[in-house]
Amino acid sequence: MFFQSEKGQKDIHLKDYLFILLNRKWIVISFFVFTVTAVSFATFTQKPVYRATATVVVDAETPNVLSSVNEVVRLGESNYFAYRDYMDTQKEIIKSRRNAHKVFKKLRLSSNKGYSSAKDPLEELLKKIKVESIRNTRILEISADDTDPEMASALANEFARVYSDSNLALSVKTSGNAEDWLKKELQVQEKKVRDSEIEAQDYKEKNDLISAEEKTNIVSEALTKINGSYMESQSRRIQMETAYRAIENDKGELLLDNLPSILNGNESLQQLKQDYLKQEALLMEYEKVYKGKHPKMITLLGQIEHLKSRIKNELESQYNVAKQEEIKFKSLLDEKKKEAVDLERKTINYNALMRGVDINRKMLAMVLNRLKETSISGQIHANNIRIQDIAEAPKDPIKPKKKLNIALGIIIGLFGGVTLAFFKEYMDTSLKDQHDITQFLDLPILGSVPRIKIDRKNIKRKGDIDRVVDLDSDSIAAEAYRSIRTNLLFSLGDADFSKSIIVTSSVPREGKTITAVNLAMMIGRSGEKVLLVDSDMRKPRTHSIFNLKNQAGLSDFLSGAKDFDSILNYTGIDNLSVITAGVISHRPAELLSSVNMKVFLSRASSQFSKIIFDTPPITLVTDASILSNVSGAGVILVAESGRTTKELLHNSKELLKKVNARIIGVVLNNVSLTKSGYFYPQYYYSKYYNPALNK
């Protein structure tokens, strides 16, 4: 199983995670042991807690004992969503401080130390109560937790009883309050009925509405008759007016044919009409005999004019009579209309008063009926809450759950330990293997040196570790230095800086001196003459490794106190000579940059094929930078696995780049064989090559 990373990054294998856990195993183990121990201790020292449960049934509605009598206060809800809210409300009522106070007082819990010492005894009591509804039922479970099983059952039962009794008391109290209110309301409604009836009767008498319906009919019939008479008089007046205006033509002749038929019954007018027609006929006879101015003609014409005048006067008189009759009926009609409208208005007001009387009577009947129902239902104490099961003293505690707690402790311990190990690994920015150097610093790696331990055979004491190549040449560490030497010589080739090599580190105690010493020994074994120079004039250590005196060394030569041959020491190891640091100086930087340093390099180069300088840490002092600039030597950076951080080694690289130093590569020192897979082949090398193991 591989997790492919981005380009230029390392492929992460499952074994890499296993190496992290192996490397951080003590973190995992410590966290696991601590967690399991803490959980186990808390579990076994915790007092057992018992839970007792009582159940109550919450009906949707109050039982209706009398089917014909409705409850004044209906407890519960029939609607599903409203009922769900109702159930949630009941849960909170059960756990209310009011109920808790009643239970506290009933069970005399004030003498209980657990409550008497509490800041809020009721709150302490309510913490022990739990109310839950059973799914798809109307049953509530009232549970009480206590270290005493008898007290747990007593609490659960008392809370159930108090809840049921309180609900019933609420119903009774509400019914009583409703009955009292209805009695008062009954008196109010009776007064309203009485007042409204008196008001209606007074209005009826005042407006003469004893038989309002009959009077309305009379007025209506009279109005109909008068309206008919008015229409007839109006028609007669129109006919008379038409006849009066059309009785005479433009020649002054009477048009008696235009007389309306309604005048046929007028004897006077009919007589005048006949007389007029006779005179007209006689005039026609006279005109044949007499001239126009004949006395008979004049007399006859005068009689005709008199008849015409009388006919016209009679018509005018009839027209005026018809007109007066029309006016009279019009006045009478308007009067009756007004009387009808007034009567209708009074009737409407009277009917409104009677409707008020009817409404008040109905309200009175409703209140009276409800009062009777309330009185009956108040005597029947129906409750929609009933206790289903009482709580019994539990035999087994609900907590602590020992097996579950320990199992969770084990799971949390393992998970937390592994998580902490990976977090520690994530936060650790130290170099672990060669890949970290090549990936993050883009520097060549010369090799890695495993952690060297005292084996009581070849490496008998701590000081022997510094000369592992000489004392245990068949060890894995020696083979590592052999590999570094090979890589170094291939890297140098024929470069102009191949003679001088500076070995430095970022901070002290990273293994730069042991690297310089053992690398010098290994190069000497290849046949080259090697000079190891201790250029750390502040804290020199090379002389102690070879058991040499540090009376005369590099500082003495550079200061002009000694010549080259007087400071040169032979170690007894083939092809390896050593120059110690000499007298400790407070100005090593000035000595390294002096002219004598160039003289020293010239003399050393003439006698040795390789010169290895052991210099102070690069990030603390400038000696390595100065020496690399003066000598033009290549630089080997030594980093300690698990200690040197990536940032620190990067800073060392940047410091060397500023002086244009040639960085040959990096040696990773003190690598744990159990924490890194890099030295796995060397393990087989030791098995294969070690003569002691092959005997």
Stretch 112-123: mean pLDDT, rounded? 84
Domain closes at, from 337, 352, 379? 379
For residues 433 and 364, state if they share a domain: no
**366 and 244 within one domain:** yes
Is pLDDT above 70 for 77? no
- Is the pLDDT assigned to residue 70 strictly greater than 60? no
Domain identity same for 344 and 447: no
Rounded CA-CA distance 151/167 in Å is: 24
Q: How confident is the model at residue 211 (pLDDT cuts 50, 70, 90)?
A: low
- Res. 542: pLDDT tops 80: yes
Among the candidates 345, 364, 379, a domain finishes at 379
Q: Are residues 368 and 464 in the same domain?
A: no
**Are 356 and 238 in a shared domain?**
yes
Which region holds residue 75: left if phi is over 0, alpha if psi is between -120 and 50, else beta?
beta
Q: Are residues 507 and 654 in the same domain?
A: yes
> What is the spatial distance between Cα 75 and Cα 319, in angstroms, rounded to a whole number?
88
Whole-number Å distance between alpha carbons of 634 and 501:
5
pLDDT band of residue 689 (cuts 50, 70, 90) is low
CATH number of the CATH domain containing 502: 3.40.50.300
Per-residue confidence (pLDDT) for residue 22, from 0 to 100: 82
254 located within any domain: yes
Is residue 678 one of the residues assigned to a domain?
yes
- Return all residues near 250 (Cβ < 8 A) that are at least 6 apart: none
More confident residue, 443 or 239: 443
Q: Verify that 499 and 609 share a domain, yes or no.
A: yes
Rg of the chain (C-alpha set): 67
For residues 638-651, give the mean pLDDT.
Answer: 86
Q: Phi/psi of residue 50, each to 5°?
A: -105, 150
Return the pLDDT at 496: 61
H helix intervals, 129-251: 149-206, 212-246
Q: Is 416 within a domain?
A: no
Please give the pLDDT value at position 529: 93
Instruction: Give the structural domain span for 235.
Output: 212-379
Distance CA 164, CA 383 (A): 8
Q: For residue 381, is pLDDT > 60?
A: no
- Give CA–CA dist 258/633, Å, rounded: 159
Specify whether 322 is located in the same domain as 455.
no
Among residues of the chain, what percentage have pLDDT more than 90? 21
pLDDT (average), residues 297-308: 76
Residues 469 and 364 in one domain: no
- Within a domain: residue 265? yes
Same domain, residue pair 557 and 438 = yes
C-alpha to C-alpha distance for 587 and 597, rounded to whole angstroms = 14
Average model confidence (pLDDT) across the chain: 80
pTM of the model: 0.52
Summarize pLDDT for 430-452 with one digit per residue, the tens.
777 777 777 777 788 898 899 88
Does the pLDDT value for residue 286 go beyond 80? Answer: no
Q: Count structural domains, the chain.
A: 2
Whether residue 660 lies inside any domain: the answer is yes
- Does residue 220 sit in the same domain as residue 332? yes
Q: Is residue 176 part of a domain?
A: no
Lowest mean pLDDT, pick from 303-307, 539-543, 595-599:
303-307
Identity of residue 486: T
Quick one: 363 and 224 in the same domain?
Answer: yes
Domain boundary among 315, 344, 379: 379
Cα–Cα distance for residue pair 509/184, rounded to 1 Å: 103
Q: Is the per-residue pLDDT at 520 higher than 70?
A: yes
Residue 4 has pLDDT above 50, yes or no: no
Please give the residue that has the higher pLDDT: either 254 or 262.
Answer: 254
* Residue 111 included in any domain: no
Determine, yes or no, domain membership for 126: no
Specify the residue for token string 């159990």: 674
Give the highest mean pLDDT range of 85-94, 107-116, 295-304: 85-94
**Most confident among 248-252, 363-367, 423-427, 510-514 (mean pLDDT):** 510-514
